[in-house]
Structure 1
Amino acid sequence: MEEEKMNLRLDANVQKLEAERLRKGKAKAEEDLDSLKIDYKKLRSSIRTAGLGKTLEQ
């Protein structure tokens, strides 16, 4: 009985750690996506400033 309780606690701890790892991974992915969006906006702005927008769209 005690061994079963210990196994259940260990399983709960493992699940908790996995959930935390997934949350951290999701947060990192969201940060990376935000960074890519900012870089894309800067690139589009640079293209417009350089007057290359029309040649790229054709």
Structure 2
Amino acid sequence: MKRLAVTPMMTLEYNEWWVRRINDNIPKPSQGNSQSIEEHLRVVPSKLEIIRQDFERRNVKFEKKIEQVEEEKMNLRLDMDVQKLEAKKIKKSEK
């Protein structure tokens, strides 16, 4: 590749542009922007999407809580049935 000699007719901007070149018409990569391609292409969620994700997280927590409460309710009913049966047995034995 031929290099041109700097002459008084060349401007400072042209000289800086020429120095930044590597090969025929290929500029050097900028060192100031060191983001990876993945980071550069990452999609930033909208406020609505963030709110939706938060809602879904809370919804999952509440569904688990409801399941626990329903299980506890079923266990209490079983305990209540056992207590009723024991009370009937005691009443029958007292007669």
TM range (shorter): 0.7 to 0.9
Larger relative contact order, structure 1 or 2 (CA cutoff 8 Å, min sep 6): 1
Q: Which amino acid aligns with 1:39?
A: Q
Identical positions, percent:
0
Distance in 2, matches of 1:39 and 1:8, equals 46
* 2:20 is the counterpart of 1:20: no
| TM-score scaled by length of structure 1 | 0.80
Structure 2 counterpart of 1:31? 75
Please, what is the CA RMSD of the aligned residues? 1.0
- The structure with more radius of gyration: 2
Residue segments in structure 2 that go unaligned for 5+ positions in a row: 1-44
| TM-score scaled by length of structure 2 | 0.51
* 2:66 is the counterpart of 1:45: no
Write 1 or 2 for the structure with the bigger share of helix.
Answer: 1
Aligned length: 51
Residue segments in structure 1 that go unaligned for 5+ positions in a row: 52-58
